[in-house]
Structure 1
């Protein structure tokens, strides 16, 4: 059968896709705390908290100068709304009694330096941790890695136990307005304008690192040409795409535990 003739250019088709994304999709309506619960559960299911309590997720609170974080000692796979507390901008709990993870302090530095960031994920998943051990940056060599094109820094020296201010200063400087960071001898950081973006980027980053390690074992990695990587990045980072991806992983979480958002 002969293909239908059209006067549409590729740019016309792309513009129509972008309009459809804007007009025909709906962003998730969960509250910030509910999104954090779902993010914890989906990241745990993807192996981001396999080593226990190492890792954090935070989000800006509704009141300026506050942020939500897990109570210290709560695992991501068991998070429920009551697991989250509000702290001030010095990591002091507003309820006066709860204990936040002291390693969350560096998040405060990132928030201060990046007003558009609303959520931060820091985890130690296996593939990213492996890259962090061999001084290898994340490479953009397949479509699924393109969200990180010119968008993932590499902090090549680890300053040590992350409970003081020095790591906060180094990480906020190394992030430099990007959305992701590979931390030497440590793990990953993603900084999103929404919880959905930060969580989705963390999942994508670990997946990209895992594929990179497998590809490097098989042959020479060939990077995606810059102009194509940039176009793909800008599409995949549209809020509708990251939010729809988050909704997909959230549905998996809710199928596994339909009660996880219960108050």
Structure 2
């Protein structure tokens, strides 16, 4: 073996430092970020009528920002986001919240680390949900969800009441994502960018799993290697740079008017 070979940790540390130096962030208002997130979800074909939801924890205690009810992800603009309180009364903006976002409150209460939630009935993740199949981490692009995707085996019904929020918040535990049997999925990120990133990769992972099953049983990635990839691919610099790339792929969002 060549004695000059360096440990992987050396390259990890070096890459991390260089990404922090060269992958510059983009300054956006929370509503602009959410509008881009919605367009990304639409671009990746995660629309299902008005069933999809997005929310971001507000700086105001017990409140969150969400897309006003009646709009699809593909038509969201920054002006279409409203701030609502615990009873879903609108505090900022015009319109009403999707009543099904009530369960988001329970996740936010249980998880101080979560600042953004996305829930959709996307085609491939919903196919896993319909088959009551948990995610199997069997390929590198699935690893951001390694040991981070819970599974709720029973559907509690349309999540417009408090009990559904209790069930979902308990089922997700400390994970960043969950597949909801007979329903769809949810991602819970430290930021709107991370929740979006996880959503796109969860839908891709579900598609890959369903396609790969044609060839036989799936072989999970080695646990240690999957954990290493999970931590690497969830570095904020990678998450944010990926989100910004996807944002550039959308048709663009009109900026908020300057005050």
Residue 178 of structure 1, CA deviation: 0.7
Q: Which residue of 2 aligns with 1:85?
A: 82
Indicate yes or no: 2:38 matched with 1:40. yes
> What is the alpha-carbon root mean square deviation over aligned residues?
1.7
Indicate yes or no: 2:22 matched with 1:24. yes
Indicate yes or no: 2:254 matched with 1:260. yes
- CA deviation vs aligned residue, 1:201-234 (integer Å, no higher than 9, x gap): 0000000000000000122211100000000000
2:185 is paired with a residue whose SS is strand
Q: Which residue of 1 aligns with 2:130?
A: 133
Indicate yes or no: 2:7 matched with 1:13. no
- CA deviation vs aligned residue, 1:115-149 (integer Å, no higher than 9, x gap): 11110000011110000011110110000001111
Q: Which residue of 1 aligns with 2:149?
A: 152
Indicate yes or no: 2:172 matched with 1:175. yes
Query: Superposition pairs for residues 208-247 of structure 1, below 5 Å?
Result: 208-247=205-244
What TM-score results when the alignment is normalised by the length of structure 1?
Answer: 0.93
- CA deviation vs aligned residue, 1:34-76 (integer Å, no higher than 9, x gap): 0000000110111111x21011000011322221011110111
2:90 is paired with a residue whose SS is coil
Residue 261 of structure 1, CA deviation: 3.3
2:221 is paired with a residue whose SS is coil
Change (3 A) 1:95 1:238: closer
Indicate yes or no: 2:63 matched with 1:69. no
Change (3 A) 1:18 1:89: same
What TM-score results when the alignment is normalised by the length of structure 2?
Answer: 0.94
- CA deviation vs aligned residue, 1:64-92 (integer Å, no higher than 9, x gap): 22210111101110001111100012222
Segments of 5+ residues of structure 1 without an aligned counterpart are: none
Report if aligned partners of 1:55, 1:124 keep a CA contact under 8 Å in 2: yes
CA distance in 1, matches of 2:5, 2:123: 49
Deviates more, 1:76-85 or 1:97-106: 97-106
CA distance in 2, matches of 1:26, 1:151: 27
Report if aligned partners of 2:81, 2:93 keep a CA contact under 8 Å in 1: no
Q: Which residue of 2 aligns with 1:114?
A: 111
Q: Which residue of 1 aligns with 2:97?
A: 100
